[in-house]
Structure 1
Amino acid sequence: MSEWLTYGSMFASSFLSATLLPGSSEALLVGLLLAGKVSVGLLILIAALGNTLGGLTNIVIGRLLPLKNQGRWHDTATAWLHRMGPAALLFSWLPVIGDLLCVLAGWLRFAWLPMVICLAIGKTLRYLVLAAATLQGMQWWH
């Protein structure tokens, strides 16, 4: 597989995994790390960038939703998110919940810069931890 295709696949997979569409960028990252033919740092950077941009897509979707009360879940979610603020996006890496957090953060119209910073940190830490665990496991087996 060419480097361009390898990194392009990682970007596409991580982007789609961060949207409301299903994806498995973690499996691709681990597979590429196990193959050992790519730059680990560049792979993590591309995965984090794609995943962050996918999360921003969810935030934009949230911004497009009308601001109206949706019931009891709305009160609970908005109270928690207002208390946490953009820092809630540090948990945007969580499956399913992370996508919802991004949509709700956009819907609540949080400020862009804190949202992007917290989103990028959360998404990047996910891939750093996964890569570190994979590489550590590879050393253990050798």
Structure 2
Amino acid sequence: MSDILSLASLFTSSFLSATLLPGSSEAVLVALLVAGVGPTWLLILIATMGNSLGGLTNVILGRFFPQRKQSRLQGKATAWLTRFGPAALLLSWLPLIGDLLCLLAGWLRLAWGPVIFFLCLGKAIRYIVVAAATVQGMAWWQ
């Protein structure tokens, strides 16, 4: 597979992984790191961009939901967002919980600047940790 297609597949997988659709962006990132497709920083950047845009898609979708009575699970996530504000989006990388946090951030109409900052930071930290563990593991096996 060409490098461009590999990077595009990483972006697509990262984007889809941030939505309710299934995806395994960490596996794609690890595979590309092991294959030596590109510099580590570029792979982290592409994965972070795709996953962040997917998360922001959830925020935008959340803004379309009318503000009505909320379920019990929404109540807990809303309490987190109310208590910690946009900083709770540092956990937006978590499966399912992160999707709900992003949707609720939009539903609560949180300010865009802090939402984008904390959402991107949380997702970047996850990919940095995965990449660092992969690179360390590769060095250990050599």
- TM-score computed with the length of structure 2 as normaliser: 0.96
Amino acid at match of 1:66: P
Q: How far is the alpha carbon of 1:121 from its aligned partner?
A: 0.1
- Cα 1:72–1:11 shift into 2, 3 Å: closer
- Counterparts of 2:72 and 2:18 in 1: how far apart (Å)? 27
Q: Segments of 4+ in structure 1 off by > 6 A?
A: none
Write the mapping of 1:42-61 to structure 2, written as runs, cut at 5 A: 42-61=42-61
Question: What are the ranges of 5 or more consecutive residues in structure 2 without an aligned counterpart?
Answer: none
Q: How far is the alpha carbon of 1:73 from its aligned partner?
A: 3.7
Given that 2:14 and 2:50 are in contact with CA atoms closer than 8 Å, whether structure 1 keeps it comes out as: yes
Amino acid at match of 2:108: L
Amino acid at match of 1:57: T
- TM-score computed with the length of structure 1 as normaliser: 0.96
Question: What are the ranges of 5 or more consecutive residues in structure 1 without an aligned counterpart?
Answer: none
Counterpart of 2:81?
A: 81
Amino acid at match of 1:85: G
Q: Deviations over 1:71-90 (max 9, x none)?
A: 44443332221011000100
- Counterparts of 2:30 and 2:57 in 1: how far apart (Å)? 25
Write the mapping of 1:1-142 to structure 2, written as runs, cut at 5 A: 1-142=1-142
- Counterparts of 1:74 and 1:33 in 2: how far apart (Å)? 37
Amino acid at match of 2:11: F
Q: Report the count of equivalent residues.
A: 142
- Counterparts of 1:123 and 1:133 in 2: how far apart (Å)? 16
- Counterparts of 2:74 and 2:125 in 1: how far apart (Å)? 29
Provide the aligned C-alpha RMSD in A.
1.1
Percent identity, aligned pairs only? 64
Given that 2:93 and 2:122 are in contact with CA atoms closer than 8 Å, whether structure 1 keeps it comes out as: yes
- Cα 1:81–1:38 shift into 2, 3 Å: same
